[in-house]
Amino acid sequence: MLAHAAGRALPASLSGLKTLGPSVLLLLGTGMAVWFNRGRAFIALASLLAAFAGYSLALEFGAASFAARAVYAAIAILVPLNLLLALFLPERGVSHHFNYRWLMLAVVETVVVAWIASAGRSSLSGTAWQDLLEHWLFRSPPTPLAGRLTFVAALFAAIWRAWPRPPRTHTRPLDTGLVGVLIAFFIACEWVAARSAFNAFMAAAGAIMLVSLLQESHRLAFRDELTGLPSRRALEERLHGLGPVYAIAMVDVDHFKKFNDTHGHDIGDQVLKLVAARLAEIQDGGRAYRYGGEEFCLLFDGRTLAETLPHIEKIRADIAAYQMAVRGDDRPKDPEAGTKLRSLRSAEKTLSVTVSIGIAEPDDVLSTPAGVLRAADKALYRAKEAGRNRVSR
């Protein structure tokens, strides 16, 4: 009840924030979701905004009125239901060919909830809805059983989507944010009798999505989507913070154009993911980055070239020794199912991948990270000219 206590402590001049705060956060988050073209975030925030606005409007008839209880039961069911549908559908962004279906769903939900809430107030709505609301499945507060069941299903779906699974070893901020939004919304529904607590947790749900959207934009800017490694922009920022001792290695996949021309771009993507996964395992404090195309960069902050060379040689040898199984057309999209299938039968085709590596460190001539990076790149070309699949200094 800390949120409730904090809400009542607001001075009279700021009491409007109890209602205005959640509205502003949810509206701002909805606008950001449209701007970033994030479909699931938009559905979550638009549902929360509509729920908060609808319930606030229904409270004008009194918290104990049928209208308020009907709208409360409806939002407790429909918000997690909308999220559940969004979680099972592919992310297509906000503007796409089928977005009219979501618009139609929103209109239908709004009309139906308004119709039910007006039961007893017009001949059109009748009074049957009043009896239905007393059914054990829809009786509230607290959260009706139908809402709790929908919430549990949506929460499990959100956790399942947020859980990192190979080849993705890190969570996406928006996926994790949706879990937090569902929890915050459920707490808001449970504490609906304490208006300030309800408002506080609705605001918390909006704030969680706002932060998740900002983190997602940072991830897209600083992490390579194909390999999962930090991107070139992240590398360039890190170079500015290096001390006097460091080593930089440039890595290039040998004959990568030949892989693409012979086997297709899908196989080329597999090669890049394989190399990235091995480079990410580098020891001795090294950090791998996707530099661009088939080029990668290894950065060793606080390590000399001599200290890092054995680890770089090991990574090169590990990549060369790995036999990559070519994915067939019948390979399942799910990584776990693909792993099981690979254990039951041998791959029809395997490919060997090698990399050439150039490494450099600062000295009297190379005094800046940019200069060391260029020196490592020149060393990389020397490795290629010497026959590839080797490390050059």
User: What is the CATH classification number for the domain harbouring 185?
Assistant: 1.20.1070
**What whole-number distance in Å separates Cα of residue 23 and Cα of residue 34?**
17
Q: Check whether residue 41 and residue 174 sit in a common domain.
A: yes
pLDDT, position 35 = 86
pLDDT, position 266 = 83
Instruction: Answer whether residue 387 is part of any domain.
Output: yes
The domain boundary, picked from 222, 248, 264, lies at 222
pLDDT, position 181 = 94
The domain boundary, picked from 194, 222, 250, lies at 222
Instruction: Answer whether residue 13 is part of any domain.
Output: yes
The domain boundary, picked from 188, 222, 256, lies at 222
Instruction: Answer whether residue 32 is part of any domain.
Output: yes
Compute φ and ψ for 148, nearest 5 degrees.
Answer: -65, -40
Q: Check whether residue 256 and residue 372 sit in a common domain.
A: yes
Q: Check whether residue 11 and residue 79 sit in a common domain.
A: yes
pLDDT, position 307 = 92
User: Based on the structure, what is the number of domains in the chain?
Assistant: 2
**What whole-number distance in Å separates Cα of residue 101 and Cα of residue 107?**
10
Instruction: Answer whether residue 194 is part of any domain.
Output: yes
Q: Check whether residue 161 and residue 59 sit in a common domain.
A: yes
Print pLDDT tens along the chain (393 aa): 344 444 455 454 444 456 677 888 999 999 988 888 888 899 999 999 999 999 999 988 888 888 888 899 999 999 999 999 999 888 877 776 666 787 888 888 888 888 888 775 655 555 666 777 777 788 776 889 999 999 999 999 999 988 876 555 567 888 899 999 999 999 999 998 888 889 999 999 999 999 998 888 878 778 888 888 888 888 988 888 888 999 999 999 998 888 888 778 888 888 899 899 999 988 888 899 999 889 999 999 999 999 999 999 999 999 999 887 766 555 544 545 555 544 554 555 777 889 999 999 998 888 889 999 999 999 999 999 999 999 998
Instruction: Answer whether residue 101 is part of any domain.
Output: yes
pLDDT, position 270 = 87
Instruction: Answer whether residue 227 is part of any domain.
Output: no
Q: Check whether residue 210 and residue 130 sit in a common domain.
A: yes
Q: Check whether residue 200 and residue 281 sit in a common domain.
A: no
User: What is the CATH classification number for the domain harbouring 333?
Assistant: 3.30.70.270
Q: Is the pTM of this model over 0.75?
A: no
Q: Check whether residue 67 and residue 205 sit in a common domain.
A: yes
Q: Check whether residue 287 and residue 142 sit in a common domain.
A: no
Contacts of 147 (CB under 8 A, 6+ apart): 73, 76, 77, 80, 140, 189
Full residue range of the structural domain in which residue 346 is found? 232-392
How many CB atoms within 10 Å of residue 65?
15
Q: Check whether residue 268 and residue 198 sit in a common domain.
A: no
Q: Check whether residue 217 and residue 300 sit in a common domain.
A: no
**What whole-number distance in Å separates Cα of residue 146 and Cα of residue 71?**
14
pLDDT, position 141 = 67
Instruction: Answer whether residue 83 is part of any domain.
Output: yes
- 180-195 exposure pattern, b = at least 16 Cβ within 10 A, e = fewer: bbbbbbbbbbbbbebb
Instruction: Answer whether residue 265 is part of any domain.
Output: yes
Q: Check whether residue 255 and residue 200 sit in a common domain.
A: no
Q: Check whether residue 306 and residue 185 sit in a common domain.
A: no
